Amino acid sequence: MKAERVVVVAPNWLGDAVMALPAIADIRRHFADSALAIAARPPVSPLFTMVKGIDQTVTLPAEGGVRAILEWNDSAAALRSGSFDLAVLLPNSFASALVVKKAGIAERWGFATDWRGRLLTRAVPKPGVLHQSEYYQALTTTLGFTAGPPFAAVWPNTDRTRELLLEIGLDPDEPFIVFAPGAAYGIAKQWLPERFARLAGLIINDRGWSVLMVGSKADRSACADIASRLGSTGSRMNRLVDLSGKTDLPSLAGVLARARAVVSNDSGAMHLAGAVGAKVIALFGATNEKRTSPLRASESGPSPVIMTHDVFCRPCMLRECPIDHRCMRGISAEAVFEVLRA
């Protein structure tokens, strides 16, 4: 099928959106002569301004989930204004299919999930358990698109990042480590704050590097907890800096790209770090690294280091640990530090 204007409806979460980039690249190659747009929610849409091959980003005004159904009119209007011929839906939700249907887009392709088959013109059977990036590429390959490599490349403006580092009193040319201690899904995904604090002390005092903590406003308490445990360790130039809630998505991407390494829980920041080409030390506890491990930015990009402590109950996929969080307690600061030194 030929289509002059194609829109891809992106996943609602940052990590999922990054893991969808290989599938989006498949769509881009298949419709090489078409205009390609990405429709995404406000927290995620800036990601696609840093991805090559995308001609337009449509920011959907409504929220995800049930609220999207209640506010479908605004989202449908935003899509209708693009005069798209074809929509490829990466989310599984009924709401996303309803919105593209109401937008009057003639061709609507996606997985036959959430009772939305009749809203789609091509409804693809849902595959079995896969890595999330493979899940999205299962859609594109079933639709007849050739699968490309499983890389996710994001290109931030690192010049602006240099200015940001100067503003907070850091030398942009000196090495620093980034911590991403938050996780939207729940505290079961989070490494213990005392371990992050211990690791920060080792980095600052033994290596002479600064540590930058990043995250959303919701992660401020976790970052404050780590800072309070570390105390006044570090000189003016080599110290712990809390940037939680102080970066937008492009500036966060830039900070991650300039970092010597990123230590992160299973989170959106972890996936973004891999996509900008950073060395990622990914700490997995409650969640399954076989399904959501970070992707590399390219063939030459550093492979992520996945750190786990295998116990009988992981991966439990719970938001809160009902026992003693042993999967995360089994990962020591010293073990992570040895990886950073390598």
pLDDT digits (tens, 9 = 90+) for 62-110: 665 566 566 788 899 999 999 999 999 999 999 899 999 999 999 999 9
Q: What is the dihedral of CA 164, 166, 167, 168, to 10 degrees?
A: 90
Q: What is the value of pTM for the model shown?
A: 0.95
pLDDT tens for 122-148 read: 999 999 999 999 999 999 999 999 999
CA distance 9 to 41: 9
Domain count within the chain: 2
Q: Are residues 205 and 242 in the same domain?
A: yes
Is 153 inside any structural domain? no
Q: Are residues 248 and 119 in the same domain?
A: no
Q: Which residues of the chain have pLDDT under 50?
A: 234-235
pLDDT at 169: 87
Q: Are residues 304 and 175 in the same domain?
A: yes
Radius of gyration of the chain (CA): 21
Is 184 inside any structural domain? yes
CA distance 131 to 152: 14
Q: Are residues 188 and 310 in the same domain?
A: yes
Expressed as residue numbers, the domain containing 274 is: 158-341
Q: Are residues 169 and 58 in the same domain?
A: no
* Unique residue bearing structure tokens 């009057």: 104
Q: What is the largest CA-CA distance in the chain?
A: 63
**Domain end (from 142, 171, 195):** 142
Is 52 inside any structural domain? yes
Is 297 inside any structural domain? yes
Q: How many CA atoms lie within 13 A of 255 on its CB side?
A: 31
Is 147 inside any structural domain? no
Q: Are residues 191 and 319 in the same domain?
A: yes
Provide the CATH number for the domain around residue 103. 3.40.50.2000
Measured on CA atoms in the order 307, 319, 197, 44, is the torsion positive or negative? Answer: positive
